Amino acid sequence: MSAPVIPGFAFVEHLGSGGFADVFLYEQQWPRQRVAVKVVRPDVPLTDREKYLFTAEANAMARLADHPYIVSVITAGVTAEGGRPFLVMRYCPPPDLGVRVRSHPMAPVDAVSTGIKLASAIETAHRSGILHRDIKPSNVLVTSYHEPALTDFGIAGHMADVEGDNDVRISYPWSPPELLDGRSNGSVASDVYSLGATIWHLLVGRSPFSIPSGDNSTRALSARILHAAPPATQRPDVPPALDRLLQQCLAKRPEHRPSSALELARALQRIESAAGWSRTAVAVEGDRPDASVAAPEVAEAPEDATAMKPVTVISASGPRRIAAQDPTPASTEDDDETSRVSGLVWAGVGALVLALLVGFLVFRGDGRGEDPGVVVPTESLVPSSVLPDELTAAPTLTGRRTPRGVVFEWNPPVPVEPGDSFSYHRDDTDDYGTTTKQQLLVRTDRPVCLDLRMRRGSDNSPSASECVS
C-alpha cells in the first residue's frame, strides 16, 4: 500500500489498517517529531457517511485536545493526489492496553488508577456534549510516561444528535445491552457501561462475558451480555467493593449504573482510600473533590481540582434522560475569591503537566490494525443476526532451533483471509509485533518463549505459547 505525499511530513512506515483507513508513521519536519497519520484508503468510496464520520472524529478529538488522557489531533487535511482525508495525530510506541493485559492483567491498584483517569477523560467529553461509544482496552493507548490516553472517536456522537441517527455503529463486545438490541443509540450510561467493562477487562485479560475455553462466538457473547448476570472478576486480590462497583457498571438497566463518569471516578477513589492506596486525581475541568473521599491535609487548593475555563454540562441522550449536574455549586464572594486564587495556581500546574505530555500523546504504533471493533449497524446486533465469530481456537504453534536462531512456525485455526494477521509477544524481551506471515525467525542463542494470536478485524483467537531452550 502506498503512503500519500504530505508536504512537511516524511513517510517512515506503515502502522496498520482499520475499517476504512490506513495508519502511517511520518516524521514531521518542523517542529521535528514523529506523528501518526490516519488516511482514508483509496479503495474506500468516499460517501457522505464516511466523510461525516472522518470529520466528526477530527472535530471531537480537537475539542478535547487539551486533556492529559485523550489523544489529540495536530492537524487535518486532504491529500493532493486523490483527495483522501487525513488526520495527523500524536504518536507513541506500542502496545495499547488491550495488548498489554492479554497475558499480564493489571494489579487492582493500577486498574483503579487507570479507571479514574479514563473516567476523567470521558466525563470531560460528556461535558463537551460528546459520547465516545467505542470505549474498550484497545482504544486506550499509553504515553511514554505510562499514562493512559483514550483514542478513536471515529464513531463518537453528539448528545443532541444521537437519537436521530439512522445508521448507528457500535463496538462489540464492550457495548451495553441497550445498544446491542437497538433500544438506544448511545448515552452517558452506555459509556459508563463500556468503561466498567474495560476496567473489568484490565483486571482479567478478557471481556466480562467471555468464557475461557467456552463458546465465545459473537452469538453466544451477545446472549450473555443481554441476559446473564454481571460476573465478578474472581480475583482474590480485588477488593469486594471494586467487584460490586464493576457489576453495577454492567447492570442491564441504565438507571442502575453510576449516573456519570464522574460518579464512577469518585467511587473508584473511595476504593483507593479504603485500601490505603495512593490517591489518583480526577482531571475534569472545574471539578471539586468529593467530600467523602479522604484528602491530604494541605493548605493549598484541593489535589484534584483542575482550574481551567468553565464548561457547560450537557445532558445525555438515550433510553432515559441523565440529569445534568453542575459540578460547581453556588458559592459566596469569599469562595469566589479563593477559587480565583487557587485557579491561578492550578492553571500554572495544569500548563506544566500539559507541556510535559505534549510530545507523548499516543496513536496506534504497535504494528497492528486500527481495530475499530466489529462495527455494524445497531439494528443488526440482535442475537439472531449477529456476525459469527470463527476465532474460537488457538493457532498450532511450534518452534525449533536452527543455526540462524529459533524459528517459530504456526498453522491458523481458520483459513487466512485478506486483512488477517498474527500478533506475537516475546517473553524474554517483552517485545510485541504483528506479521501476516506464518513463520518468525528470532535471532538468539538464549531460551525464548513466544505467545501468538490470530487477528481478524477486532477479533482475536486464544493465544498459543511455545518455548525453545
Query: Could you tell me the residue ranges of all domains in the chain?
Result: 9-90, 97-364, 390-468
d(CA 189, CA 196): 11
The pLDDT confidence band at residue 27, using thresholds 50, 70 and 90, is: very high
Residues 6+ apart with CB under 8 A from 253: none
Over 80: is that where the pLDDT of 119 sits?
yes
* Burial (CB count <10 Å: 0-12, 13-18, 19+), residue 32: exposed
If you classify domain 390-468 with CATH, what class do you get?
mainly beta
Spatial distance between the Cα atoms of 140 and 148, rounded to a whole number of angstroms: 6
> 412 is written with which cell numbers?
491458523
Confidence of residue 182 (pLDDT cuts 50, 70, 90): confident
Candidate from 59-63, 195-199, 274-278, 320-324 with smallest mean pLDDT = 320-324
pLDDT band of residue 183 (cuts 50, 70, 90) is confident
Residue 360's φ and ψ, nearest 5 degrees, are -125, 10
CA separation for the pair 196, 245 (Å, rounded): 8
Signed CA dihedral, 4, 85, 8, 359: sign only: negative
Indicate the fold that domain 9-90 takes in CATH.
Phosphorylase Kinase; domain 1 (3.30.200)
Catalytic residue among 133, 169, 368, 456: 133
Q: What distance, in Å, lies between the first and last C-alpha atoms of the chain?
A: 38
Beta bridge partners of 256: none
d(CA 175, CA 193): 7
Confidence grade of residue 281 (pLDDT, cut at 50, 70, 90): very high
6 forms bridges with which residues in the sheet?
Answer: 9
Q: What is the DSSP letter of 254?
A: G
Higher pLDDT, 79 or 320: 79
User: To which residue does cell 438497566 refer?
Assistant: 253
Query: Residues 162-185: what's their mean pLDDT?
Result: 74
Q: Does 400 qualify as catalytic in the annotation?
A: no
Rounded CA-CA distance 19/15 in Å is 14
Contact 311, 128 (CB under 8 A): yes
pLDDT in tens, 44-91: 777 777 677 777 777 877 888 889 999 888 888 989 888 888 989 888
pTM over 0.85: no
Give Cα 161 to chain centroid, integer Å.
Answer: 23
Question: In terms of Cα–Cα distance, which of 6, 22, 1 is closest to 367?
Answer: 22
| Residue keyed to cell 471531537 | 60
Domain 97-364 CATH class label? mainly alpha
| Alpha-carbon gap, residue 38 to 235, rounded angstroms | 39
131 contacts 79 by C-beta, under 8 angstroms: no
Report which DSSP code applies to 281: P
Q: State the pLDDT at residue 462.
A: 75
- 133-168 pLDDT, tens digit per residue, is 889 998 999 988 899 999 887 665 565 555 545 555
Does the annotation place 38 within a ligand binding site? yes
Residues in CB range of 218: below 8 A, 6 or more apart = 172, 173, 374, 386, 387, 388, 389
Placement of cell 464512577 in the chain = 264
Whole-Å CA distances, 300 to 304, 323, 328, 344, 377: 11, 32, 18, 12, 50
Measured between alpha carbons, how far is residue 303 from residues 119, 260, 280 in Å?
17, 21, 9
Instruction: List, for residues 379-390, the tens digit of each pLDDT value.
Output: 333 333 333 345
Exposed, middle or buried: residue 81 (CB in 10 Å: 0-12, 13-18, 19+)? Answer: exposed
What local confidence, expressed as pLDDT, does residue 89 receive? 86
Residue linked to cell 445497531:
378
Q: Tens of pLDDT along 213-234?
A: 889 888 899 999 999 999 999 9
Q: Which of 132, 176, 98, 169 is nearest to 369 (CA)?
A: 98
